[in-house]
Amino acid sequence: MGLHESMGPLVLALTLSCFLSSVCLAQERSFFSGNLSDSETIVSSLRTFRFGFFSPVNSTSRYAGIWYNNIPIQTVIWVANKDKPINDSSGVISLSEDGNLVLADGQRRVLWSTNVTTQARANSTVAELLDTGNLVLKDDNSETTLWESFRHPTDSWLPNMVVGTNARASGENITITSWKSPSDPSPGSYTAALVLAAYPELFIMNKDDNNATVWRSGPWNGQMFNGLPDVEPGVIFLFRFTVNDDTNGSVTMSYANDSTLRYLYMDYRGSVIRRDWSEARRNWTVGLQVPASECDIYRRCGPFATCNPRKNPPCSCFKGFGPRSLVEWNNGNWSGGCTRRTPLQCERLNNNGSADGFTRLRRMKLPDFAIRSEASEPECLRTCLRTCSCIACAHGLGYGCMIWNGSLVDSQELPAGGMDLYIRLAHSEIKTPDRRPVIIASSLAGGILVVVACGLMARRLVMKRRARKKGRDAEQIFNRVEALAGGDKAKLKELPLFEFQVLAVATNNFSLRNKLGQGGFGPVYKGKLQEGQEIAVKRLSRASGQGLEELVNEVVVISKLQHRNLVKLLGCCIAGDERMLVYEFMPKKSLDYYLFNPVKAKLLAWETRFNIINGICRGLLYLHRDSRLRIIHRDLKASNILLDENLVPKISDFGLARIFPGNKGEANTRRVVGTYGYMSPEYAMGGLFSEKSDVFSLGVILLEIVSGRRNSNSTLLAYAWSIWKEGEITELVDPVIFEQVFEKEIKKCVHIALLCVQEAANDRPSVATMCSMLSSEIVDIPEPKQPAFITRNVVASEEAGSSGNSEPKASINNVTITDVSGR
């Protein structure tokens, strides 16, 4: 699907034969009224699209379809017999006696038909391919359109194509449906559809999960969808909406700078992606994509919570609400959402009209299940307060007054645009100190007042306390570092200490423009020292309970390590509450920046990915066996693999690493740290870590490198295992890197990865053995056993442990799990 590759030598031979054949020259028309065999095609009048037979990538089956004509990468945008392929070149498209367009195989079995009721006969209908990409069946006498492919789309949404529903008149529901795989155009798991309610929205749904919602666009206000992400300048979406009632409506899409070489399609994994043809690159480039972040996933944070992909963790409860299950929430499972701390005072409200009020959230993707209110916009908030069932409201931007009576789900903080959302709170919650302005209902004025909680006095007290702590903190940190370093002050002097002002100047006062990303313990900024050296500064978050411990640990561990595949620590800064680590700057960012981005992934060809795999293994081998220390990393993941200007990988982030005595093989901790999805089962469930727990993480990374997919909740492990058992490894491989010449090498990497993620630690190879396997020194590689599928609660197995005072904290993917204590 998407970039559906050409049919190879067969198409080339047929094309060459067309230059020598008067029959093929006749085919260059945009219409036909007779038969169309497998070797023939028609092309639109401006030669933009072509209709005929094709084979998808890695398939010999034949399908009738439409693809872009004058570009080297065959890109199919419509398929006729999508679930009934032809196994040879015997297919023929013809006009039947009743005037329909019919596709039959060599045995004259009808595999597809336009199947319309018409009074026309075969000699009076004609099929024409328009320059919009629309194949139409017309009555040649009356010029009436009897059928069109735009009303029966497959995985592609072209400009001026309709998506919508006409349930009342015909039961018609025009949706976009994914292919099953890049080599199989039969209907896949995902559909994109228009859903009509109080406010129309576009939805992506999973058919295999009872049409569960995957993503929603946010409500339509007559001009835009509230939650549709901004697109880059110069590419402006124009939507035309027609909504007759709650069962009939449609939406068409076009662009301000209209181009037929720009379209949306749904890939087989459920993402809707906009493709633009770049003549300069001679390739498709990716623009808009949804879902684009984990916050785009429907109900990612559960009810009464909001999601922000720029924060860590991304989910947070609304003001006045707390996690429904603190253990699950801190363990990175936010699906249960939040619950109200203080009940609304509806009965009291009805007596005197003033018990509850609102807190305002700005730039929000509005929650699902909005109800349209007849109240005017100035009266919207007061109307909500007078209605006990109303828990939130919004108004303006063409929406009128919107209210919510049930749970608030699928809201998101947007970087720009969005709307103000007013969430109703009990009066006591509104009075709780908060930096955000809040709105409350006044019983005396009968109106609405804006109250800003400044907190100036509290801030002064905090600043005084910080000043007193400044000297104590610095002394504490140096004593702790010296103790862990074995009292060797000389070694500590080798590590430069940076002045705070030097780093502030280098990073332009830690400006957002210099921010490289957000780690589990705080933001990372790009900087440039006065002498010109580029640096990366990790500014440990003051809110992180692990800030001091991480800094001390990383200074002790990484300052003693030197290896081509380990990031170099240049120094640190300790200034009052400020704790920072200074590294060499990695210009190519981190591995996950490329792997999970459809555009950036193309920059990592297989040869590059294989070199990265080898580099990571060499770096980890140094940590485990070759350095004078023996170190377990404990947080190995794609985001902790940095790339230099030559795409050489360097392992980073040693804040959670542990030094092992030379005679010790494993250790146990009641404080599990790491990242869910990369953690070995014995460590996640029992706190047992060793070299083999790092090997497990490395196996996950190998599968991510090969597939280009993130291991969310260990689903990648399950998928890779099922593909391995079926012997269809190419289904796992990222299509942008697959070439036949590399198939054997890629398969070997998958084989090694599956050995690394086996359930039992003793079954996994050492990193030294992995390096030998990769270099072909070991030819006879054992068969892997079933991998561990880590889907259980991280703390479940620790229930038997003694009660601890520390609060559990955990998360998934790019967020670090810390302090998973016994209960």
Indicate which residues carry an active-site annotation. 635
Distance between CA atoms of 409 and 364, rounded to whole angstroms? 12
User: How is residue 158 written in tokens?
Assistant: 């072209």
Q: What are phi and psi of 332, to 5 degrees?
A: 85, 5
Phi, psi for residue 263 in degrees, rounded to 5: -155, 165
Classify residue 755 by its DSSP letter.
H
Backbone angles phi, psi at 750, to 5 degrees: -65, -40
Closest CA to 699 of 669, 721, 684, 670: 721
Strands (E) in 592-705, as ranges, are: 630-632, 641-643, 649-651, 658-660, 666-668, 672-674, 688-690
Q: How far apart are CA 311 and CA 245, in angstroms?
A: 40
Residues forming beta bridges with residue 688, ordered by sequence position: 668
Q: Establish how many alpha carbons lie within 13 A of residue 219's alpha carbon, considering only the half-sphere containing its beta carbon.
A: 24
Give me the sheet containing 92-95, strands edge to edge. 36-37, 92-95, 101-104, 110-113
| Bridge pairing between strands 411-413 and 305-307 | parallel
For residue 196, what are its two tokens? 């009509």
Q: Do the beta carbons of residue 42 and residue 129 sit within 8 Å? A: yes
For residue 366, give the H/E element and its range. Answer: none
Gyration radius (Cα) of the chain, Å: 30
- DSSP bridge partners of 150: none
Sequential DSSP letters for 107-158? T--EEEE-----S--GGGEEEEE-TTS-EEEEETTTTEEEEEGGGS--SEE-
Would you call 54 helix, strand, or coil by DSSP? Answer: strand
Q: Which residues pair with 436 in a beta bridge?
A: none
In three-state secondary structure terms, 782 is coil
Number of residues written out for the chain: 823
Note the helical H segments in 354-436.
380-386, 427-430
Q: Is 51 helix (H, G, I), strand (E, B) or coil?
A: strand
Beta strand 338-340 with 315-317 is: unpaired
CA 641 to chain centre: 19
**DSSP secondary structure letters along 67-83:** EESSSSS--EEEESSTT
Query: Distance between CA atoms of 31 and 34, rounded to whole angstroms?
Result: 10
Q: Are 754 and 722 in contact, with CB atoms under 8 Å apart?
A: no
CA angle at 674 for the pair 480 and 479, rounded to the nearest 5°: 0
What φ, ψ does residue 110 adopt, rounded to 5°? -75, 120
Decide: helix, strand or coil at residue 568: coil
Reading phi first (left if > 0) and then psi (alpha if -120 to 50, else beta), residue 270 is in left
Q: From residue 695, give the alpha-carbon distance in Å to each of 554, 583, 788.
A: 21, 25, 13
**What is the Cα–Cα distance from 89 to 761, expressed in whole angstroms?**
52
Distance, CA of 668 to CA of 666 (rounded, Å): 7
Other Cβ atoms within 10 Å of 739 Cβ, number: 11
User: 6 and 69 in contact (C-beta within 8 Å)?
Assistant: no
